[in-house]
Structure 1
Amino acid sequence: MRVERFTRIVWILLGAVLILDALIVSITFSINSGVVATFGIGVLYLFYGLCRDRVRASRRKGLLQWMRIPILIGSGLMLLLFAFIAVLGRVDTVSHQEDAVIVLGTALNGEEVTPPLRSRLDVAVEYSTANPDAVIAVAGGQGPGDSITEALAMERYLVSRGVAEDRIMREDRSTSTYENFVFAKRLLHAHFDADCTTAFITNDYHVYRAGEIAEVAGIASTHAHADTPWYGIPVDYVREFLAITKFVLTGR
């Protein structure tokens, strides 16, 4: 009985944490697919926890009994994928001898870089110090509600941190990770007038998918990870789960 009660409390707390995190991210930044999915999963877990005793007691195939196995299997698969991308995402492969580094964009807060993007840019600053000859390509167009492009905001931040403006190239048309790579590749090839070696920088949860997309875009790239703010982990990982599912189905 104690184990069952503890398990029930865990489901309830997990659901409440996911709902709260989704609300915090939606208020602080914006509403996206990750926020909506995290909120929905939180509601599902909360409902399941509150009704768990009735699920186990029920001997007929009602709604609650039908929910039990899909929730357990789906949660297990998500946890396995989360563990995979979390571990892989923290293994850097950069040599600091690449010709260029591509910093992948993400959402802004008006004209200001958000904490996840700032984390990526701080890693880019560190990279630029370790490899002072490298060109830095900042990639990202203008998202809904933003007053400037992600690339421009990224360039401004890098310059404010001491990176020379003439080392920075702006790719400001892309609206997806695939376009980040495709358009940045065109800029870099035009700049070097030949193939060049590249590294990309993104948050840890995004490294695996970004690497796969880079290959689809024809870029053999090393990578360096940036940390994900703790309060964004649930939403970002759930959103990445959806994005990886999309990538498997569409290749982008």
Structure 2
Amino acid sequence: MTWILWLLAAACVIYYVVIVIYSGFTTSFSFIWMVFAAACLLLALGWEYYMKHKDRVPLWLPVSVITFCCTGILVFSMVEILIFTGVASRDTSNLDYLIVLGARVKEDGLSKSLKSRLDKAIEYLEENPGTVLVLSGGQGEDEPVTEASAMRDYLVFNGVREQQMILETRSFSTVENIAYSRIAIEEDQAKRKARRARSDITMEPGTYEEIPDKPIRIGVLTSDFHVFRAEQIAKKWGIPDIYGISSESDPVLLVHFCVRECAAILKDKLVGNM
């Protein structure tokens, strides 16, 4: 057991170094791997001490530690199952609006996660040209421009019409992405109804039948590990019938993203965001 824990600690340190070197910066939540490494080292030392001095260690202590670790592994496994179950979705063709969630914009351009999302959005528009994109993301302290405007520039460069995009530039979290995007969609719907009302041909009462507006279909496009949380937040914040679309995440950082997403899901569930 001791050598397994030492190997796990070494693996966590190595992966932390890989994240920093590969990303070119200390990506958010990367410190957790050093925390894991320290925890594995403490467990290894504790286990070694326990095996040598069983008579000095009360039984409740190792039982509590093992129970805590097993519970953590079980919770993590259940959350990860939910995360990747969320990648599978219903028929997402011909959506009225597709919310594209932002990701970090670097000084030298888009992050890999954001570029992957936008490439997926372009692919989706090629098959569903009537869908309006809602580009969601504000400007962080270390970002040169808002995520939404960087997304727009990339899409325009790749042939997407500006008239087919709505920019939402106030959000700094997934909850705000969804909430402000919903407001942007409602405002766009109101403008469209006003235009239709001005262009309606006057007809005598009784010569036509009013047909109620069909429900608008809204989707959310984000990285595969993020789809489940985005859908759950959307359902809580006013978009009950949301369609999830996933883009591929960076394979090198996928394990890190999954761990970070697990923590984010537990936090959002705890504070009532989902």
Give the TM-score normalised by the residue count of structure 2. Answer: 0.79
Q: Structure 2 CA distance, aligned partners of 1:226 and 1:32? A: 20
AA in 2 matched with 1:221: I
Match of 1:18 in 2: 12
Asked if the contact 1:104/1:202 (under 8 Å) is kept, the reply is yes
Among 244, 247, 250, the alignment partner of 2:268 is 247
User: CA distance change for structure 1 residues 29 and 202 in 2, over 3 Å: closer, same or farther?
Assistant: farther
Among 85, 93, 114, the alignment partner of 2:90 is 93
Please show how residues 64-79 of structure 1 align to structure 2 within 5 Å: 65=62, 67-79=65-77
Q: Deviations over 1:4-50 (max 9, x none)?
A: 5xxx5544333333333333334525445521223312332344346
AA in 2 matched with 1:43: A
Asked if the contact 2:30/2:256 (under 8 Å) is kept, the reply is yes
AA in 1 matched with 2:7: L
Q: Give 5+ residue unaligned stretches, structure 2.
A: 194-214
Q: Give 5+ residue unaligned stretches, structure 1.
A: none
Give SS of 1:231's match: coil
Match of 1:137 in 2: 134
Give SS of 1:101's match: strand
Structure number with greater Rg is 2
AA in 1 matched with 2:89: D
Match of 2:119 in 1: 122
Asked if the contact 2:137/2:171 (under 8 Å) is kept, the reply is yes
Match of 1:217 in 2: 237
Match of 1:199 in 2: 219
Alpha-carbon deviation of 1:154?
A: 1.2
User: CA distance change for structure 1 residues 234 and 16 in 2, over 3 Å: closer, same or farther?
Assistant: farther
Q: Structure 1 CA distance, aligned partners of 2:47 and 2:252? A: 28
Asked if the contact 1:142/1:150 (under 8 Å) is kept, the reply is yes
Greater Cα shift, 74-83 or 16-25:
16-25
User: CA distance change for structure 1 residues 128 and 14 in 2, over 3 Å: closer, same or farther?
Assistant: farther
Match of 1:238 in 2: 259
Q: Structure 1 CA distance, aligned partners of 2:254 and 2:42? A: 22
Asked if the contact 1:138/1:170 (under 8 Å) is kept, the reply is yes
User: CA distance change for structure 1 residues 125 and 40 in 2, over 3 Å: closer, same or farther?
Assistant: same
| Greater helix fraction, Structure 1 or Structure 2 | 1
Asked if the contact 2:92/2:245 (under 8 Å) is kept, the reply is no
Q: Structure 1 CA distance, aligned partners of 2:236 and 2:17? A: 35
Alpha-carbon deviation of 1:113?
A: 1.4
Match of 2:99 in 1: 102
Asked if the contact 1:34/1:239 (under 8 Å) is kept, the reply is yes
User: CA distance change for structure 1 residues 10 and 202 in 2, over 3 Å: closer, same or farther?
Assistant: farther
Give SS of 1:34's match: coil
Is 1:177 aligned with 2:193?
Answer: no
Alpha-carbon deviation of 1:98?
A: 0.9
Give the TM-score normalised by the residue count of structure 1. Answer: 0.85
Asked if the contact 1:103/1:200 (under 8 Å) is kept, the reply is yes
Is 1:163 aligned with 2:184?
Answer: no
Give SS of 1:142's match: coil
Q: Deviations over 1:170-209 (max 9, x none)?
A: 1111011111111111111211226632111111111111
Give SS of 2:30's match: helix
Aligned residues: 245
Match of 1:151 in 2: 148
RMSD: 2.5
Greater Cα shift, 134-143 or 34-43:
34-43
Greater Cα shift, 72-81 or 238-247:
72-81
User: CA distance change for structure 1 residues 111 and 181 in 2, over 3 Å: closer, same or farther?
Assistant: farther
Asked if the contact 2:106/2:144 (under 8 Å) is kept, the reply is no
Give SS of 1:222's match: strand
Asked if the contact 2:96/2:217 (under 8 Å) is kept, the reply is yes
Match of 1:84 in 2: 82
